């Protein structure tokens, strides 16, 4: 009996030791996995810089989840970190002062918790990306919830990944580029001169020679005088139509969508058969440069019974007519004008009218993560000008294919909507994400340019390092 008890205790002891060994091994392996995971986890954000550190942590987790749940895969490749942005406190004459806002005392920025200065309507609004991004940065400092946010303002420039220049260059060009009585230089040119003087004197600019600066020039005629001096910066543009490649290019800069002009199609229950117009275009017909194709197509299509191709503008009921026309059309033409792009593409998207793009040199917003061929029809200019080519191609797209593209347009529509307050993955956040995807390339350029400039200086002055010839 005693031997039996001893034998049982031996078995129990061996089993206990085996269990203890297994548990210890699992805990050991788990702790190593945690250490390795932490060591190789991307450094999403340094929370020490911000008074909203807990909110930032929650925001990053939410943003990462939103990216993972992206519509049709477009956001799965988007940047899932919160971009840290330093914004200059430029005087109001560079931003909200251009909208008629008057500061109180020494205030540089409006109190957006009390009232948000409005942006002029009409065609002015199509190039208003500068306004929406600036508002979003201001909001990031007062927001109680940072979920869905892709960028946040930081006060210490050494903590920032990019430096934002809040100059409303598009509205400045639209409103202040005409000479007033007794003026020799218009206000638009004067402000550009002041901006160049200010920026090139800042330590932040000198540190990177402007390569990490974000400058908005969405209107094709904005910053005409300053762009040749500020070109190392990252420009936010509508296209590259009026820029030489040495000043602006797809590798360095970001294309942002136009703000739509027509009304959105809310509660759209239309379908292929309920949209009687096959192909719609309304706008300026006689344009310069690549826009010659508009008048050629006008003469080819004006007598087609299921095509609406007419001159139009925003005067009187122009916007209302365009809205109704796009809402009742299957396909909407987006043809190159004076420059490769126009707001017409984004009006079509807002109207759930399948865009037909005839613009060989067009650049599209966030095309690195969004496949426009899912919801747009692309036609080469040379093909569009062939007799009957365009109509035969469009009429060859049946109900099933059109419905698929129509459904996809409704999915991607939020990516092109500017609004305040901004929401996750709307146009504001998508532009910030596009900027964030440029940051690694910007850092690479900066680091490479500093290779020899920061080499310890020899006592022999002739051996002192010089800036690389391509630094600027």
Q: Hunting for tokens 């146009």 — which residue is that?
A: 427
Residues 6 or more apart in contact with residue 145 via CB below 8 angstroms: 55, 59
Q: C-alpha angle 112/114/117, rounded to 5°?
A: 55
Separation between Cα atoms, residue 346 and residue 121, nearest integer Å: 16
| Residues facing residue 310 across a β-bridge | 282
DSSP state of 259: P
- Residue 115 within a domain: yes
Q: C-alpha angle 260/365/211, rounded to 5°?
A: 120
How far apart are the two ends of the chain, measured CA to CA in Å? 93
- Quick one: tokens of 288? 């310069």
Q: Is the pLDDT confidence value at 420 over 70?
A: yes
Could you tell me which residue, 299 or 472, shows the higher pLDDT?
299
Instruction: Give SS3 for 466.
Output: coil
| Residues facing residue 450 across a β-bridge | none
- Residue 428 within a domain: no
Does residue 59 share a domain with residue 160? yes
pLDDT for position 472: 42
pLDDT tens digits along 204-262: 999 999 999 999 999 999 999 999 999 999 999 999 999 999 999 999 999 999 999 99
Question: How many domains, in total, are found in the chain?
Answer: 2
- Looking at 399, 416, 433, which one is the last position of a domain? 416
Could you count the other beta carbons within 10 Å of the beta carbon of residue 121? 11
**Mean pLDDT over residues 450-460, rounded?**
62
Rounded to the nearest 10°, the torsion over CA 25, 31, 32, 36 is 160
Does residue 174 share a domain with residue 251? yes
pLDDT tens digits along 333-391: 999 988 999 999 999 999 999 999 999 999 999 999 999 999 999 999 999 999 999 99
Instruction: Give SS3 for 405.
Output: helix
Instruction: Give SS3 for 354.
Output: strand
- Looking at 200, 220, 255, which one is the last position of a domain? 255
- Quick one: tokens of 232? 């190392």
- Residue 34 within a domain: no
Separation between Cα atoms, residue 434 and residue 429, nearest integer Å: 9
Instruction: Give SS3 for 64.
Output: helix
pLDDT tens digits along 272-326: 999 999 999 998 887 666 568 998 999 999 899 999 999 877 667 788 899 999 9
- Residue 208 within a domain: yes
Report yes or no: 191 and 94 within 8 Å, Cβ to Cβ: yes
- Residue 266 within a domain: no
Residues 6 or more apart in contact with residue 448 via CB below 8 angstroms: none
Query: Which domain covers residue 116, as residue numbers?
Result: 47-255
- Looking at 222, 255, 288, which one is the last position of a domain? 255
Could you count the other beta carbons within 10 Å of the beta carbon of residue 41? 8
Could you count the other beta carbons within 10 Å of the beta carbon of residue 9? 10
Separation between Cα atoms, residue 405 and residue 422, nearest integer Å: 26
The lowest-confidence range among 46-55, 181-190, 260-269, 441-450 is: 46-55
Does residue 303 share a domain with residue 216? no
pLDDT for position 449: 87
Q: At residue 328, what are phi and psi to the nearest 5 degrees? A: -110, 20
pLDDT for position 285: 85
Separation between Cα atoms, residue 345 and residue 463, nearest integer Å: 56
Handedness of CA 88, 91, 97, 103 (dihedral sign): positive
The side-by-side arrangement of strands in the sheet containing 213-216 is 151-154, 83-87, 162-165, 213-216, 234-237, 254-255
Does residue 57 share a domain with residue 201? yes
Report yes or no: 85 and 151 within 8 Å, Cβ to Cβ: yes
The lowest-confidence range among 106-115, 158-167, 246-255, 278-287 is: 278-287
Does residue 368 share a domain with residue 284? yes
DSSP codes, 103-144: --TT--S--TTT-PPPPP-GGGGGGTHHHHHHHHHHHHHH-S
pLDDT for position 194: 98
Q: At residue 209, what are phi and psi to the nearest 5 degrees? A: 55, 35
Residues 6 or more apart in contact with residue 416 via CB below 8 angstroms: 257, 260, 346, 349, 350, 365, 427
* CATH at 335: 3.40.50.2000
How remote is the C-alpha of 376 from its chain's centroid?
19
Does residue 277 share a domain with residue 315? yes
- Residue 42 within a domain: no
Separation between Cα atoms, residue 339 and residue 309, nearest integer Å: 20
Does residue 285 share a domain with residue 363? yes
- Quick one: tokens of 273? 């058969």
Does residue 95 share a domain with residue 198? yes
- Residue 9 within a domain: no
- Residue 107 within a domain: yes
Does residue 105 share a domain with residue 249? yes
Mean pLDDT of the chain: 84
Does residue 289 share a domain with residue 245? no
**Ramachandran sector of residue 116 (left: φ over 0; alpha: ψ -120 to 50; beta: rest):** beta
pLDDT band at 9 (very low <50, low <70, confident <90, very high): very low
Does residue 181 share a domain with residue 59? yes
Does residue 250 share a domain with residue 348? no
pTM: 0.81
Residues 6 or more apart in contact with residue 122 via CB below 8 angstroms: 314
Could you count the other beta carbons within 10 Å of the beta carbon of residue 236? 23
| H-run or E-run covering 171 | helix 169-176
- Cis before 157? omega within 30: no
């Amino acid at each position: 009996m005693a031997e039996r008890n001893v034998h049982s205790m031996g078995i129990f002891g061996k089993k206990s030791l085996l269990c203890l060994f297994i548990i210890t091994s699992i805990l050991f392996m788990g702790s190593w996995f945690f250490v390795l995971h932490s060591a190789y986890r991307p450094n999403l954000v340094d929370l020490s810089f911000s008074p909203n550190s807990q909110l930032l942590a929650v925001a990053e987790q939410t943003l990462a989840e939103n990216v993972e749940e992206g519509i049709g895969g477009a956001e799965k490749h988007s940047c899932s970190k919160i971009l840290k942005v330093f914004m200059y406190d430029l005087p109001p004459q560079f931003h909200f002062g251009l909208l008629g806002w008057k500061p109180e005392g020494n205030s540089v920025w409006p109190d957006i918790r009390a009232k948000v200065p409005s942006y002029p309507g009409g065609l002015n609004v199509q190039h208003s990306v500068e306004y929406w991004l600036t508002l979003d940065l201001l909001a990031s400092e007062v927001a109680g919830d940072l979920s869905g946010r892709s960028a946040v303002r930081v006060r210490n420039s050494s903590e920032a990944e990019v430096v934002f220049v809040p100059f409303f260059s598009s509205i400045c060009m639209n409103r202040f580029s005409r000479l007033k009585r007794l003026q020799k230089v218009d206000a638009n040119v004067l402000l550009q001169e002041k901006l160049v003087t200010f920026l090139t004197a800042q330590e932040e600019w000198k540190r990177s020679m402007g390569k990490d600066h974000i400058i908005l020039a969405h209107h094709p005629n904005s910053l005409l005088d300053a762009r040749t001096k500020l070109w190392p910066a990252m420009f936010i543009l509508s296209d590259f139509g009026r820029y030489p490649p040495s000043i602006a290019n797809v590798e360095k800069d970001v294309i942002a969508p136009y703000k739509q002009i027509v009304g959105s199609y809310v509660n759209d229950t239309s379908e292929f058969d309920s949209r009687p117009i096959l192909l719609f275009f309304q706008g300026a017909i006689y344009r310069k440069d690549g826009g010659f194709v508009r008048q050629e197509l006008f003469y080819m299509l004006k007598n087609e019974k299921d095509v609406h191709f007419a001159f139009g503008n925003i005067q009187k009921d122009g916007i209302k007519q365009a809205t109704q026309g796009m809402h009742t059309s299957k396909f909407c033409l987006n043809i190159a004008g004076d420059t490769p792009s126009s707001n017409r593409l984004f009006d079509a998207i807002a109207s759930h009218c399948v865009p037909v793009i005839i613009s060989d040199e067009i650049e599209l917003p966030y095309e690195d993560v969004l496949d426009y061929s899912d919801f747009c029809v692309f036609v080469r200019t040379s093909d569009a000008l062939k007799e009957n080519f365009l109509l035969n191609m469009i009429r060859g797209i049946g109900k099933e294919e059109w419905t698929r593209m129509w459904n996809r347009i409704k999915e991607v529509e939020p990516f092109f909507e500017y609004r305040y307050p901004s929401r996750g993955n709307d146009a504001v956040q998508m532009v910030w994400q596009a900027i964030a995807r440029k940051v690694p390339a910007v850092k690479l350029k900066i680091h490479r340019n500093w290779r020899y400039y920061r080499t310890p200086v020899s006592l022999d002055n002739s051996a002192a390092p010089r800036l690389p010839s391509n630094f600027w």
